[in-house]
Structure 1
């Protein structure tokens, strides 16, 4: 925020002319940027007065995030998610290849739809114990989890914390363009699984080649017991699936957004709690704890919106867009899309929160896309790739560092394991962005 305020004093004010496109969205017109003759300087106290304005402006997203956090906590409290994972482990426990694939797939689906991330941390010890019992190691276990969750974020189709926020800022219909991301999910998961399984087979053949050989700290901890996949837990899982289907139908056919989706997840909270027999008090307690866990995310959303408001008030938002768009326009839309991915990847180190990054960068990237011939849907996709994939490696990602700490994996060992995969995924996603430009993905 302070840096944004200082930039308003340094950079010239200016703006592009805008017009309404065929989809009814306001887009900037290339080549129309004009610097203002006179400049009004924001008062230093603006850094404080903008905060309540930003929170008020982003209140819909903030409250939706808190509701999602509470709803997921109640679903988790029912034991349905734990029971499903336990069933997978007991079913595929003697065949590690399918077990790792379906576990990775499950994490990817949960992240792509519900935006789950922090909820995975308790599963770290479970997966480590499971993999060690199958003659693999902790890196195999955590690789299965982190690769799945990050790919899920990279190709999210319903994720309320990244996709819906980014599309809202970019002026796109919620969940639009899902078909292309679903198509990309399969090769991305194939690349990710191949990397993890190749490493796992090496460790099974020669344990001394494990990157954490001799330093695993908690492989002897007893894994938590799983609840049984009973009629109640199956019913909760079915209710969750039905809720996700209703989300898709509501958005596609009836134009639902934050208010309606928030109401739906509140309904899911009550239905799941009643099915599991939690009682009103336990439901309320779980909901409150779940919402509290996402308070940090909610605050980041408000402060991230403050940055954009400062640039808007200082009339430098379009100036920054013009500066960034000029070099990207020179290389053509295909390479410009790849350049946007690189920018988002670097920014993820400084803004690891997906919601925060969307609110900071999409006000810039959406109009940049207009200027360089890249659709706003592709701008959102570049954001998703940069946010999702870089979460595998940036040490500022609290979820990653929490999981590594729980599994006693030194960061340098994790870096050696994940960096080759990250490079392969970035190359694939760069090619995917070029294809998206060529086919006119919108």
Structure 2
């Protein structure tokens, strides 16, 4: 079911490793061509376009694009107690971790009368997307909302696709999660059209919409399918985005001491997200590789979403990669840059500290990715497709701007005046220097 790539005895450059390792083909550029008309439609026709697109893509025409307050509170009242307890525990842990992420302002005195300060300022308004396709993700609502709240964002709006079996409103558990978090602005809008609505705003067309259905935001975050990723690419620059998130990925770096059942279960757990999900095992043990492959075969046929899982594991994006030793394995996982990376080796913590490229690292046999998906306290909105080489997961920083404040008095500027003029003239921008000289005439 899952293919093998044998790198033993081979010394490969990083470029060669990137070329040989499995990766899902997203086709964002092709999707962008299909998404561009959707974005134009929403921008031009507002709520009317959103209803038409919901009918086309979600099979339901929402009466209420903005979810009524009573529907949000009602969903919480109907939430199963065990699920509510789980969501509340997740909120506490995620909030605790994200509260610690807040950076400190600072001030530097460079000389008498010469000061530069830096302030961290939250954006004013954010649009947070929660998918609702193959699965429903109240956990993603928590990850997005808590990070924005801990950053101090004043205005938060959540969008999630309308559901045919919920009267055109988002899934009840999504609404219940919003209620637990105190989010009152929620929209029954899915996919690329939600990204467009957040980026450009939308006028209302029905009495229940009001004149303005949704004001534009400053930042759009949240996971989604390839069309959501394409929409983010097209509106980037109009608004900030977290990332063009693609299908989920798990890589496991394991040695002969790892438990094959644990590894196989973790690969299956991520494969059930999407037929394009990537599951990669990197190991120096042929015995472990064979045991995991056999266990994966058994689990894949028995799990609830068997068809989806088997497609993901058989796809070109998934593989077992054989290496000479853990040292070569580290080079492989760094070149891959997985969204989720598990380390199941001897001295796992020390190995994990040497990893440079991963969205999140899960250390040892009792830190599975599933823990991070829900209740570790970390954020599960993470870079995919190799973006972990340069990008971080969602966090408080995603909603903050660093603003520098410069305060010089006359004497402090005078000390630098001649040097500023010299550099300005060398750049052939004499008016820059003259702007300084004008203060001493």
| TM-score normalised by structure 2 residue count | 0.29
Q: Which has the higher contact order (CA 8 A, sep 6+)?
A: 1
Structure with higher strand content = 2
